[in-house]
A and B are shown apart, each in its own frame.
Chain A
């Protein structure tokens, strides 16, 4: 059943880091949104998918390539998130978390269906940027430059976000508003605007992830739904609302998944859910979550 080959394991684990980066970026955005807004954003995968489609459309209609899309798409997806928060999400803040989950689930199904109508169910191709073609020899594998870029940029992006939240005055305001939003507002900080911008920033992160994923995964309407299920498992394992937990768990589970692909490929798609079950039984608040 097990075929142990160190080079294969190392290779799959490096490639697993690519998935881990996507898990980390998406679960980070979910954690930020849940921490401050208390919304379980089931539409997060859709913003990831829309990021990929936006990159595709920028290329097809305006001739804007990958690097331009990497700058423009987060702004576009963040703007869309801003509208969604103002028009829909903000009306649910005083209600149970379940209402936010149901609304965003409906939103996700609607958006995915709409994209399917306009673009069809098939995946669309998106090219790797020319200056990222080729691979580097790591000794145990040839790692494509683009995947190396995704890992490095994704990790930098995650830890930059963590730095802003944990180490800056802006982050202190966000953390304080998570603890006691009424008091933060009584200090003169416009908390409703902060909530809107936080939602926009959280989904913009998903949009960046979508652009990064476009050359690796096919750009298709289901790509968000496929990944968001795994990302929710990552968030549960890391602990709801934990920023560092989301990043480390996302990256770690990418490695676990890669390892499983090497030693027992049949289990690779379920290993994360098996970990989730174990964590829920032994430590229901998650690996990095705080006691309720």
Chain B
């Protein structure tokens, strides 16, 4: 579905991604695991067209995403839930939720979203930034589910959250996966992704250093922990 070949990206003069290769099959959950600064968020931003200088190819449904603007990429059914959640401070929770336009049929119905995240309905008229960290994360995920995008980029959705919220987000990702969404999940928490993902990629210094199927992950967890510095 998404084929990444020899991908390079730069922040100004700083070369961050070094010839990255990845495949993200349709309907699968794929993780990108690595330490802080390994290039995970840059990878997400590159897929979404938010990086300045890039080379290589990012082929999605036969089209090279590197040639498109961010809005054109989103219109092809790709949605980003960023690491900082990007909740807009001048908008209410409801306005944040309804901000992204519907880009295709088949997005999650609002009642289904409220069932998944009841707090969002209760806090609809609050300012987005008045929500707790966990509620903001739920809002950031909910926001992209109603758009009809089928390929979701989730950038460290558990970062800084309480264990009970992490469990709720894990349940949500499982439910989304069961609905046939394709997910690229960036994480530093190997235990969180262990039961969620079909394929795991390990990234270090802007390059993929390992790839393993879900069945191989448990046997290699020590190696993953070492890479993550746990």
Distance, CA A176 to CA B95, complexed state (A)? 9
Q: Please, what's the 1-or-0 string for A175-190, where 1 marks a CB less than 8 Å from any CB in chain B?
A: 1101110111111111
User: What distance in Å separates the Cβ of B141 from its nearest Cβ neighbour in chain A?
Assistant: 14
A186, B80: Cβ atoms closer than 8 Å? yes
**19 A-B residue contacts at CB 8 Å?**
A172-B99, A175-B90, A176-B91, A176-B96, A176-B99, A179-B89, A179-B90, A180-B88, A182-B50, A184-B99, A185-B71, A185-B74, A186-B80, A187-B100, A188-B74, A188-B100, A188-B103, A189-B100, A191-B71
For residue A173, CB closer than 8 A to chain B, the reply is: yes
A186, B98: Cβ atoms closer than 8 Å? no
Residues of A with Cβ closer than 8 Å to B? 169, 172-173, 175-176, 178-180, 182-191
User: What distance in Å separates the Cβ of B61 from its nearest Cβ neighbour in chain A?
Assistant: 16
For residue B70, CB closer than 8 A to chain A, the reply is: yes
Question: Who on chain A is nearest to B101 by CB?
Answer: A188
A186, B48: Cβ atoms closer than 8 Å? yes
Contacting residues, chain B, for A175 (C-beta < 8 A): 88, 90-91
Distance, CA A185 to CA B45, complexed state (A)? 12
Distance, CA A123 to CA B174, complexed state (A)? 72
Residues of B with Cβ closer than 8 Å to A? 48-50, 69-71, 73-75, 79-80, 82, 86, 88-91, 95-96, 98-101, 103, 147
Contacting residues, chain A, for B147 (C-beta < 8 A): 187-188
A189, B71: Cβ atoms closer than 8 Å? yes
Of A169, A175, A182, A183, most B-chain CB atoms within 10 Å: A183
Chain B binding surface SS class: loop
Distance, CA A173 to CA B91, complexed state (A)? 9
Distance, CA A183 to CA B80, complexed state (A)? 9
Question: Who on chain A is nearest to B153 by CB?
Answer: A186
Distance, CA A2 to CA B101, complexed state (A)? 60
A189, B86: Cβ atoms closer than 8 Å? no
Distance, CA A204 to CA B74, complexed state (A)? 31
A183, B86: Cβ atoms closer than 8 Å? yes
Distance, CA A179 to CA B99, complexed state (A)? 13
User: What distance in Å separates the Cβ of A245 from its nearest Cβ neighbour in chain B?
Assistant: 14
Q: A169-B98, A172-B99, A173-B99 are in contact. Are A188 and B91 (CB under 8 A)?
A: no
Distance, CA A172 to CA B100, complexed state (A)? 10
Distance, CA A265 to CA B89, complexed state (A)? 44
A183, B90: Cβ atoms closer than 8 Å? no
Question: Who on chain A is nearest to B98 by CB?
Answer: A169
Contacting residues, chain B, for A172 (C-beta < 8 A): 91, 95, 98-99
Distance, CA A178 to CA B71, complexed state (A)? 16
Of B71, B74, B101, most A-chain CB atoms within 10 Å: B71
User: What distance in Å separates the Cβ of B73 from its nearest Cβ neighbour in chain A?
Assistant: 8
Distance, CA A191 to CA B95, complexed state (A)? 18
Question: Who on chain B is nearest to A169 by CB?
Answer: B98
A176, B101: Cβ atoms closer than 8 Å? no
Q: A175-B90, A179-B88, A183-B86 are in contact. Are A190 and B71 (CB under 8 A)?
A: yes
B71, A180: Cβ atoms closer than 8 Å? no
Distance, CA A179 to CA B88, complexed state (A)? 7
Question: Who on chain A is nearest to B82 by CB?
Answer: A183
4 residue pairs, one from A and one from B, having the closest CB atoms: A188-B74, A187-B100, A172-B95, A185-B70
Contacting residues, chain A, for B91 (C-beta < 8 A): 172, 175-176, 179
Contacting residues, chain A, for B98 (C-beta < 8 A): 169, 172
- Seed contacts A183-B82, A189-B100; 11 additional CB < 8 Å A-B pairs: A169-B95, A176-B90, A178-B90, A179-B90, A180-B88, A185-B70, A185-B74, A186-B73, A188-B71, A188-B75, A189-B71
Distance, CA A171 to CA B203, complexed state (A)? 40
Q: A175-B90, A176-B88, A176-B91 are in contact. Are A187 and B82 (CB under 8 A)?
A: no
Contacting residues, chain B, for A191 (C-beta < 8 A): 71
A186, B88: Cβ atoms closer than 8 Å? no
User: What distance in Å separates the Cβ of B50 from its nearest Cβ neighbour in chain A?
Assistant: 6
Distance, CA A288 to CA B192, complexed state (A)? 45
Distance, CA A176 to CA B80, complexed state (A)? 16
Of B49, B73, B90, most A-chain CB atoms within 10 Å: B90
